């Protein structure tokens, strides 16, 4: 979200004639509670009418800073990047990592569960105190609060021409978790192979879990299905454009609709004009509109049909993606999002109430 931060600050300074100060905070799990509380005290002492805070589900420091500042009657607004806490997405504690695996595994799983429960409780309190909560997907209730939609801006600074790869490439990229539907994709790829379709497949990303049992199960499933898939691992932001831009079709096979099911990868696909096939969930429909082909979540046969359609009828697929790209850059350009964000913040400044 920092892509539009400078523009947003400029809007507030110039258009709204406001005094603005920015602070870049390094997040971290170690001592996040204590350092966050001290940061909250520091923020509360500043003579500002409003605090604007970016908050990710994995962030400890900023959550505690917001909670302390709110307790001291400072008004703040939030952009919440993740609308839910999933146990499988929590980075595990590994204090007992050297002990025999059954003990270590049980301890780490219980730690993740406790971590997720405590973090959910913390974020519920933080969003409850906020004057306004923004979310990246429309029409969401996040940690008990209705949100205003502040869509993510384009990660690409201008509309670029999509160049098809020499041979068909089907790809997925993102954080690996059971809700992402990667198994659905591998089974669909097997069906395409059995039908004689020619393609290359690449599944980028990782679990972020040191034990990595889920990652192992995905690779094992691909081997058992006999499909040829490349697993390049984590894709850094600097390489995301070349990775997604080199696909014939980007697949977003999420299993269902939940508060965290808006897709940052969908933003990349739209921005680069890459054909997209996605699960038919309300959130992904709102993100992608008519600019993707959809299939029933978890239905490998439907996904295989959608992939076959995109790979065979390339003219229609590329045309659909190009229309989505034009709309996206018009509505999600950094200028448009900065204007929207600064308007929301000016509105929050005018609100004289503070929620308890």
For residue range 194-212, list pLDDT tens digits in order: 998 889 999 999 876 645 6
Q: Is 139 left (phi over 0), alpha (psi -120 to 50) or beta?
A: left
Report residue 355's pLDDT band, with 50, 70 and 90 as the boundaries.
Answer: very low
Q: Where does 221-310 show beta strands of DSSP type E?
A: 229-233, 249-252, 276-279, 293-295
- Kindly state the tokens that stand for 149: 């939609």
Q: What is the mean pLDDT of the chain?
A: 82
CB 211 within 8 A of CB 90: no
Model pTM above 0.75: no
Rounded to a whole number, what is the largest CA-CA distance in the chain?
A: 67
Kindly state the average pLDDT of the residues 57-76.
Answer: 83
Residue 235 CB: number of other CB atoms within 10 A? Answer: 18
CB 324 within 8 A of CB 289: yes
Say whether pLDDT at 100 is over 80.
Answer: no
The separation between CA 282 and the C-alpha centre of its own chain, rounded to angstroms, equals 16
Position 278 scores a pLDDT of 95
Q: How far apart are CA 16 and CA 67, in angstroms?
A: 27
Q: Where does 28-151 show beta strands of DSSP type E?
A: 51-55, 76-80, 132-135, 141-142, 145-146, 148-149
Q: How far apart are CA 276 and CA 284, in angstroms?
A: 11
Position 89 scores a pLDDT of 41
In terms of Cα–Cα distance, which of 96, 92, 46 is closest to 69? 46
Q: How far apart are CA 47 and CA 103, in angstroms?
A: 51
């Amino acid at each position: 979200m920092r892509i539009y931060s400078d523009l947003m600050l400029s809007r507030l300074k110039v258009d709204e004639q406001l005094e603005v100060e920015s602070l870049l905070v390094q997040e971290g799990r170690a001592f996040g509670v204590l350092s966050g509380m001290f940061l909250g005290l520091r923020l509360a002492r500043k003579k500002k009418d409003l605090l604007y805070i970016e908050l990710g589900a994995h962030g400890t420091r900023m959550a505690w800073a917001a909670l302390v500042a709110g307790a001291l009657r400072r008004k703040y607004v939030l952009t919440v990047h993740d609308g839910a806490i999933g146990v499988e997405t929590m980075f595990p504690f590994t204090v007992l990592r050297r002990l025999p695996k059954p003990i270590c595994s049980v301890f780490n799983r219980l730690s993740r569960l406790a971590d997720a429960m405590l973090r959910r409780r913390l974020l519920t309190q933080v969003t409850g105190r906020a004057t306004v909560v923004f979310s990246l997907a429309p029409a969401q209730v996040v940690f008990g609060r209705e949100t205003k939609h502040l869509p993510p801006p384009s990660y690409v600074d201008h509309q670029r021409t999509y160049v098809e790869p020499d041979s068909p490439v089907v790809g997925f990229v993102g954080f690996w978790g059971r809700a992402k539907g990667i198994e659905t994709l591998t089974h669909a790829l097997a069906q395409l192979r059995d039908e004689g379709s020619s393609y290359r497949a690449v599944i980028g990303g990782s679990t972020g879990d040191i034990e990595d049992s889920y990652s192992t199960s995905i690779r094992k499933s691909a081997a058992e299905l006999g499909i040829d898939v490349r697993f390049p691992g984590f894709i850094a932001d600097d390489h995301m454009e070349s990775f997604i831009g080199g696909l014939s079709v980007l697949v977003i096979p999420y299993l269902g609709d939940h508060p965290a099911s808006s897709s940052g990868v969908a933003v990349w696909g739209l921005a680069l004009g890459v054909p997209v096939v996605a699960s038919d969930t309300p959130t992904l429909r709102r993100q992608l509109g008519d600019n993707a082909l959809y299939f029933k979540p978890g239905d490998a046969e439907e996904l295989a049909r959608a992939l076959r359609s995109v790979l065979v009828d390339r003219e229609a697929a590329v045309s659909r993606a190009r229309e989505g790209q034009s709309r996206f850059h018009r509505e999600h350009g950094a200028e448009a999002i900065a204007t929207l964000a600064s308007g929301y913040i000016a509105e929050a400044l005018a609100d004289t109430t503070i929620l308890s």
